[in-house]
Structure 1
Amino acid sequence: MAGKLKIVFIGNSIINGFPYDRNQEFVSLYRDASGNDVINKGVNGDTVRGVMGRFSQDVLAEKPDIVIILVGTNEFIYKEASPEQCMKDIINLIELAQNQGIEPVLMTPIPLEPTMAKSRWMVCDDVDYEEVQQQIIQLKKQINTYGRENHIRVIDAYYAFSEFVSMVGEQTAYYDGIHPTREGHRFLAEIVGNFL
């Protein structure tokens, strides 16, 4: 696709850039680097059901060329959905976009650092971050398989961020075991830029 693209990023706090200002998250960094018309529709704590509820207003009404969808961590932390349920809802979003001539691009959720998440994020006994990590891995596999079989482009942020963590270390990559640091956001912006 040549020329300036209009792209909506929709999803959870990773898109929104928690805990940093909006201009420091990877979506804004990508917009600045690419010159594309980029709209951030990230909401802290959001799930795929939340995205579904606002998809018409936040994506379809904007008439973008591309929508980039990132969900699938809060669902498991809050025990709202299994990976299979989450994938079904993602497929619904894909179809909604395609029906309006919008290309859906999926991002896999980034990995957690369970020990850090337990001490720095939600310190409560009923969240098993090891289990959440396994569910993220299951969803990542389903997203990649669906993308391959249905010709949907996938940004495997899980794989890329895992490589980033192995290079720079957990303290540099993670703010709290769930959300990226500023360095992590800069890395994600590069990944998205290279992909698109």
Structure 2
Amino acid sequence: MKLLLIGDSLTYGYRVEEKYKWTNILSKKLNIEISNKGALGDTTAGMNLRLSEELLEEHADIVFIMGGTNDFLMGYSLENVQNNFKQMIQDVNNISLKVILGIQPPTIEAMAEIMWIDNVDYNKVNAKIKALREWIINNSSELNFNFIDFFHEFNNLLLHKEFRNYYIDGVHMNNTGHEAMAKIAIDFMNKNKIFT
């Protein structure tokens, strides 16, 4: 079985060694082939443009798609992101492959303003991620996809541990953050018998 991942730096694994990336941990734990096509700085529009070519080249069995944070950091609308997701879901469904969406973890304003970009309203970014989350949850049956809710799971983790345990800069995950993402994804795959 082969899993194709389309996404941005959170899928790629920004500033994390290959062996510590959540996608690599997922591949080893589930004994599956993974093609990680996360691209630094990518938006859902860029992902949408890349998807058709990747589908042709990779011959995957299941496609995972996660994005939106960069769109919201750049001020793009929720509707624009939703439309890009709709197109990508349709493209995957048209060739009868399973599609899984990832709901990205929250940004951490206090950290991101110092270590990432200081002129962004991270509360608005998180509000849009929350709204996207609701859209994904509410449309999963109609549009025929599963989803992994990293946003909800990380909010739960952050109730018990300081955000610096998981984040490099308030946007991207450190090694421990990648371990947490891998566990969330593995639990989801096992619970939903995705590869069995």
Same fold (TM over 0.5): yes
2:125 to 132, 141, 147: 132
TM-score, normalised by the number of residues in structure 1: 0.92
Give the aligned partner of residue 44 of structure 2: 48
Give the aligned partner of residue 194 of structure 2: none
**Structure 1 residue 96 displacement after superposition:** 0.3
SS state at 1:133 partner? helix
Aligned length: 189
Give the aligned partner of residue 101 of structure 1: 96
TM-score, normalised by the number of residues in structure 2: 0.92
Mapped contact 1:10–1:41 kept (Cα < 8 A): yes
Matched AA of 2:51: F
What aligned pairs does 1:48-127 form with structure 2 within 5 A after superposition?
48-79=44-75, 81-123=76-118, 125=119, 127=120
Mapped contact 1:175–1:181 kept (Cα < 8 A): yes
**Structure 1 residue 24 displacement after superposition:** 1.8
Matched AA of 2:155: S
SS state at 2:3 partner? strand
User: Is residue 190 from structure 1 mapped to residue 183 from structure 2 by the alignment?
Assistant: yes
Alpha-carbon distance in structure 2 between the residues aligned to 1:61 and 1:184: 30
Per-residue CA shift, 1:71-124, capped at 9, x if unaligned? 010001112x2112101110100010111121110011111111111111013x
* Pairwise CA RMSD: 1.2
Matched AA of 2:92: A
Q: Structure 1: which 5+ runs fail to align? A: none
User: Is residue 38 from structure 1 mapped to residue 31 from structure 2 by the alignment?
Assistant: no
SS state at 1:167 partner? coil
SS state at 2:14 partner? coil
**Structure 1 residue 68 displacement after superposition:** 0.5
Q: Structure 2: which 5+ runs fail to align? A: 190-196
**Structure 1 residue 37 displacement after superposition:** 1.0
**Structure 1 residue 142 displacement after superposition:** 0.7
